[in-house]
Amino acid sequence: MTEVYSVSLINRALEALGEEPIDAIDPNDLSEQPNAVIKLLGSYERAIGQTLRAIGRGPFISHVTLSPLELPGDWKWPYRFQLPADGLAFLDPGPCVGLELAIEAVGGIDQEVLRSTSDGEIQISYVRRCDVDLLSDEVFEALGLNIAARPAFQIVGSRDWAKRIEDKAEKAIVLARGSLPGSTDDMPRRHNRMARVRGACSR
């Protein structure tokens, strides 16, 4: 699947880095893009997923109940749950314990799955892929700054400047979280139990 990039979001990141904006991105031919853009695109999707997960609520958060797959397991993790295909990052596996994120073949294709010691249904919350240009100004700002923060030192060559961008990115997440509705029926407030799932912190 060809990646779809938001030019507006990349330009916000470039602005934070003191770089010139760009007019367009052809995901099939990045050879003409400046080095700074290439570095930003290298962690684009991961930065978006981690930023939206840190914000933790909003229209980009979905909730789903998973049933175990009919796949052979092993003695330690006998059950498998297939994660949603539109997931960028996963927040909360619900009250079920004994879970682990893993990459395994499902139908001959390597996919991320949850391995479990229990065959009961589990509920998780996750960040879904969405059109970032439609998100609120506060969330968009947090995304732009966090995309800039990851390769900031490589691009600007100044630790002080990079640290300022990182600090602004952290504050932008707090502001974005505060700008969104709190606990509702559609977006229940959840504690970050996903941090206890082995491997979750790497997403």
Q: How would DSSP label each residue in 175-192? A: HHHHHS--S-SSS-----
Angle (CA) 194-150-57 rounded to 5° is 40
* C-alpha distance from residue 110 to each of 33, 69, 102, 105, 116 (Å): 31, 15, 10, 4, 18
What per-residue confidence (pLDDT) applies to 110?
86
- 124 lies in the same domain as 167: no
Alpha-carbon torsion 32, 140, 54, 49, what sign?
negative
Q: Which domain holds residue 153?
A: 7-58+129-179
- 19 lies in the same domain as 44: yes
How far is C-alpha 53 from the chain's CA centre? Answer: 6
CA 118 to CA 163: how far, in whole Å? 44
Q: Which residue has the higher pLDDT, 110 or 23?
A: 23
Question: Is residue 2 one of the residues assigned to a domain?
Answer: no
Q: How many domains does the chain have?
A: 2
pLDDT, one tens digit per residue, over 117-142 is: 888 888 888 999 999 999 999 999 99
pLDDT, one tens digit per residue, over 38-79 is: 999 999 999 999 999 999 989 999 999 999 887 777 888 898
What per-residue confidence (pLDDT) applies to 173?
97
pTM of the model: 0.80
Neighbours of 38 (CB within 10 A): 12
